[in-house]
């Protein structure tokens, strides 16, 4: 029994240990196998990851290569497009250049055709037609300039009105704000709550009345502001026109070129006419602006006369300088007063002006101007009796044989044999101050042109002019007189005596008169212009000579020189001589005295028959030389 129990116990213990051992062994056997499996799995994962990375890189390289190829393809396409566009632009530019060349050639052909047509027209055009055509062209230019000036003026007025309106709005806003601030300060007083009901009641009771009064007041204020703005604009416009007029007159005082003088005269004509229209709208009585308007009218007439003179081929001379200087000074005084008035007019002055035009600052200023504006001098000359033309028929050409235009060209070549003339051109006929003439244009070897008038009766040189540029004073005044005297002798004018010399820059203008038996015959006058640079005549005017020249029966003086001298008064004579002068349509024998008084030089002409003073001239020393007034 005991053995069985013992055996069973052992068996139980062995079995239990064996199981434990087996479990342990089993764990031992399974453990290495699990680690190996884990290692294999890790390797497989690593390999898979590397494969994935390689695949990703391969895909990336493929995409990059594809993108690079696409970029290259786009670049090639863009390069091809740019090349095609450049070729198209070059082709278009070439086509445009060809078109421009064709247009330029067409314009050149048109210009050549126009020049040829003009040349044919000038050959067949008479002097009268030429003057009429130039007058039409000048009027067209004046009209265009006037239109442009009016447009600029209207634009400037509009801008000024806008600026004035903005200033008025700003001032109204500031005034409104000040009133609001004043009301708020008043409303802050103690006990305001107690006044509230009374204020509301009063406001309700008077609302309708305040509305009517306010609207009426606004309308009246707007009307007054509008009138004041209009008057102010007219004053500004008048001031601006006077400024422009003064600027152009200032330039005209020193302008010597024909083109520049025409431009300035055109501007002066336009501005004076605009100024005249503006003066009519100034809010003062017309009687207050009579003299000012008259001055503006005379300025306009002078500019128009100057343009007519320019159209006939003559430039403004020394005789015009004093007139221009006078106009400049008068306009300067007008402008000064207008500027002062513009800058000092107060709102009260504008209000008074609206209520009564006959009182106030503007009316006072215009009355002051009106009383100080005087008339333009009517006689400003470049020598004694230089404007005289007694006859309407040419006494000096009576019974002379009439010549042809071909003969006139031949004579012109002879008259200017020393001028290296290469060609002459007959350009028509003209009646110059009662003398029928052929117009001849002469061209020298340097392609410079001269313009001459040859009389149909006798083939005399009536006038000529050239455009020689004289700068240096290489010849003295005495030498210039000798040169002019020799030129007149060549033309067949004998016994000519120089009586006046006026030097302008490097040009000497010399007045010659015919001398008979020691008496100067001022009606027979020739004016010669000599260039002091080259020592040669560059202009001549002999209309008065050929209109009046002839032998005269000169009476003996009924009054001695000593008796005539007593009529000079304070004038101290330096020279005295007998002269036949044009006076009231006749030739009168007189004594010519020159002398000084109060640092000024004068010429006095005393009748040799009655001893009365006939004419008196004052010598003006200006920048343009010596002038007579």
* Res 386: pLDDT: 63
Task: Record the tokens describing residue 215, joined without a space.
Answer: 């609207």
* 528 and 405, same domain (yes or no): yes
Per-residue confidence at 288, pLDDT binned at 50, 70, 90?
low
Residue-number span of the structural domain to which 313 is assigned: 130-176+212-372
- 527-554 per-position pLDDT tens digit: 999 999 999 999 998 888 998 888 889 9
Task: Record the tokens describing residue 444, joined without a space.
Answer: 């020298």
* 419 and 301, same domain (yes or no): no
* 559 and 546, same domain (yes or no): no
* 160 and 295, same domain (yes or no): yes
CA 426/CA 409 separation, integer angstroms = 7
Terminal alpha carbon distance of the chain: 186
Q: What is the value of pTM for the model shown?
A: 0.44
* Res 204: pLDDT: 47
* Res 325: pLDDT: 83
Quick check: 580 pLDDT over 90?
yes
Q: Per the domain annotation, does 203 fall within a domain?
A: no
**427 within 8 A of 443, measured Cβ to Cβ:** no
Give the count of domains, the chain: 4
- The CATH number linked to 583 is 3.10.450
* 448 and 586, same domain (yes or no): no
Contacts of 261 (CB under 8 A, 6+ apart): 252, 255, 306, 310, 315, 316
- Report percent pLDDT > 70 for the chain: 72
- 340-356 per-position pLDDT tens digit: 877 777 777 766 666 65
* Res 352: pLDDT: 66
* 523 and 602, same domain (yes or no): no
In whole angstroms, how far apart are CA 568 and each of 47, 354, 561, 615, 616? 141, 57, 11, 11, 10
**SS3 call for 445:** coil
* 508 and 623, same domain (yes or no): no
Task: Return the closest-CA partner of residue 549 out of 455, 425, 411, 418.
Answer: 455
Q: β-strands 572-583, 519-531: how paired?
A: parallel
* Res 496: pLDDT: 94
Q: Per the domain annotation, does 415 fall within a domain?
A: yes
Q: Per the domain annotation, does 205 fall within a domain?
A: no
Q: Sign of the C-alpha dihedral, residues 117, 121, 122, 124?
A: positive
* Res 495: pLDDT: 93
Per-residue confidence at 213, pLDDT binned at 50, 70, 90?
very low
Q: Per the domain annotation, does 198 fall within a domain?
A: no
Using N-to-C axis directions, what is the helix angle for 361-372 and 347-355, rounded to 10°? 80
Mean pLDDT on 424-438 = 82
**Vertex 600: Cα angle to 594 and 605 (nearest 5):** 30
Task: Return the closest-CA partner of residue 513 out of 422, 420, 582.
Answer: 582
Per-residue confidence at 7, pLDDT binned at 50, 70, 90?
very low
* 305 and 385, same domain (yes or no): no
**SS3 call for 588:** strand
* Res 156: pLDDT: 75
Average pLDDT of the chain to the nearest whole number? 77
DSSP for residue 426: E
* Res 294: pLDDT: 72
* Res 331: pLDDT: 85
Mean pLDDT on 499-526 = 90
Domain end, chosen from 118, 142, 168, is at 118
DSSP string, 39-87: HHHHHHHHHHHHHHHHHHHHHHHHHHHHHHHHHHHHHHHHHHHHHHHHH
Domain end, chosen from 525, 550, 575, is at 550
Question: Residue 423: beta bridge partners?
Answer: 443
Task: Return the closest-CA partner of residue 617 out of 589, 592, 599.
Answer: 592
Q: Per the domain annotation, does 366 fall within a domain?
A: yes
* Res 629: pLDDT: 61
**SS3 call for 258:** helix
* Res 48: pLDDT: 80
Mean pLDDT on 188-201 = 46
Q: Per the domain annotation, does 204 fall within a domain?
A: no
* Res 32: pLDDT: 53
Domain end, chosen from 550, 585, 600, is at 550
* 545 and 569, same domain (yes or no): no
Q: Per the domain annotation, does 541 fall within a domain?
A: yes
Stretch among 127-131, 243-247, 318-322, 570-574 having the lowest mean pLDDT? 127-131
* Res 128: pLDDT: 58
Per-residue confidence at 488, pLDDT binned at 50, 70, 90?
very high
Q: Per the domain annotation, does 124 fall within a domain?
A: no
Quick check: 453 pLDDT over 50?
yes
Question: Residue 336: beta bridge partners?
Answer: none
* Res 185: pLDDT: 65
* 522 and 479, same domain (yes or no): yes
* 222 and 91, same domain (yes or no): no
- 73-94 per-position pLDDT tens digit: 888 899 888 888 888 888 888 8
* Res 276: pLDDT: 77
* Res 35: pLDDT: 52
Q: 535: burial class by Cβ within 10 Å (0-12, 13-18, 19+)?
A: middle
Task: Return the closest-CA partner of residue 327 out of 303, 305, 299, 348.
Answer: 299
**SS3 call for 584:** coil
* Res 4: pLDDT: 47
* 297 and 217, same domain (yes or no): yes
Instruction: State phi, psi for 87 to the nearest 5 degrees.
Output: -65, -40
Mean pLDDT on 575-592 = 89
């Amino acid at each position: 029994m005991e053995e069985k129990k013992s055996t069973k116990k052992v068996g139980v213990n062995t079995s239990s240990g064996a199981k434990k051992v087996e479990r342990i062994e089993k764990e031992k056997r399974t453990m290495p196998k699990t680690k190996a499996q884990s290692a294999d799995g890790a390797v497989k994962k690593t390999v898979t990851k590397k494969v994935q990375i390689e695949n990703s890189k391969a895909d990336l390289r493929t995409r990059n290569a594809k993108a690079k190829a696409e970029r290259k393809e786009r670049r090639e396409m863009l390069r091809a497009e740019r090349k095609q566009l450049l070729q198209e632009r070059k082709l278009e530019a070439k086509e445009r250049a060809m078109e421009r060349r064709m247009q330029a050639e067409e314009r050149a052909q048109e210009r050549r055709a126009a020049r040829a047509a003009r040349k044919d027209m000038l050959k067949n055009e008479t002097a009268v037609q030429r003057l009429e055509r130039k007058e039409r062209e000048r009027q067209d230019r004046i009209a265009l300039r006037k239109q442009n000036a009016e447009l600029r003026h209207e634009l400037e007025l509009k801008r000024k009105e806008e600026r004035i309106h903005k200033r008025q709005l700003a001032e109204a806003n500031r005034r409104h704000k000040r009133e609001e601030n004043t009301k708020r300060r008043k409303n802050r007083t103690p006990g305001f709550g107690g006044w509230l009901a009374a204020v509301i009641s009063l406001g309700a009771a008077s609302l309708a009345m305040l509305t009517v009064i306010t609207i009426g007041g606004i309308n009246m204020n707007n009307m007054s502001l509008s009138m004041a703005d209009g008057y102010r604009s007219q004053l500004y416009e008048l001031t601006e026109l006077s400024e422009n007029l003064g600027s152009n007159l200032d330039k005209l005082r020193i302008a010597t070129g024909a083109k520049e003088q025409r431009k300035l005269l055109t501007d002066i004509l336009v501005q004076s006419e605009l100024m005249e229209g503006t003066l009519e709208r100034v809010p003062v009585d017309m009687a207050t602006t009579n003299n000012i308007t008259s001055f503006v009218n005379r300025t306009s007439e002078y500019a128009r006369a100057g343009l007519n003179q320019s159209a006939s081929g003559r430039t403004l001379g020394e005789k015009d300088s004093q007139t221009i200087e006078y106009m400049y000074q008068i306009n300067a005084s007008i402008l000064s007063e207008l500027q002062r008035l513009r800058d000092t007019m107060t709102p009260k002055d504008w209000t008074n002006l609206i209520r009564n035009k006959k009182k106030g600052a503007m009316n006072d200023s215009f009355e002051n101007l009106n009383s100080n504006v005087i008339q333009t001098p009517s006689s400003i000359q470049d020598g004694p009796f230089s404007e005289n033309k007694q006859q309407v028929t040419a006494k000096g050409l009576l019974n002379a044989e009439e010549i042809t235009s071909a003969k006139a060209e031949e004579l012109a070549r002879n008259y200017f044999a020393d001028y290296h003339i290469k060609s002459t051109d007959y350009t028509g006929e003209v009646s110059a101050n009662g003398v029928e003439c052929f117009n001849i244009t002469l061209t020298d070897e340097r392609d410079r042109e001269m313009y001459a008038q040859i009389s149909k009766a006798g083939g005399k040189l009536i006038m000529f002019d050239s455009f020689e540029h004289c700068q240096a004073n290489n010849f003295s005044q005495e030498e210039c007189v000798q040169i002019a005297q020799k030129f007149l002798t060549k033309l067949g004018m004998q016994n000519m005596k120089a009586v006046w010399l006026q030097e302008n820059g490097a040009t000497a203008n010399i007045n010659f008169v015919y001398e008979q038996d020691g008496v100067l015959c001022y009606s027979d006058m020739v004016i010669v212009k000599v260039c002091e640079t080259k020592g040669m005549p560059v202009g001549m005017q002999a209309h008065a000579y050929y209109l009046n020249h002839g032998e005269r029966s000169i009476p003996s003086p009924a009054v001695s020189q000593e008796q005539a001298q007593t009529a000079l008064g304070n004038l101290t004579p330096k020279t005295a001589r007998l002269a036949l002068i044009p006076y009231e349509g006749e030739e009168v024998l007189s004594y010519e005295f020159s002398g000084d008084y109060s640092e000024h030089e004068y010429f006095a002409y005393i009748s040799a028959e009655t001893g009365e003073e006939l004419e008196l001239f004052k010598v003006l020393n200006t920048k343009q030389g010596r002038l007579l007034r």
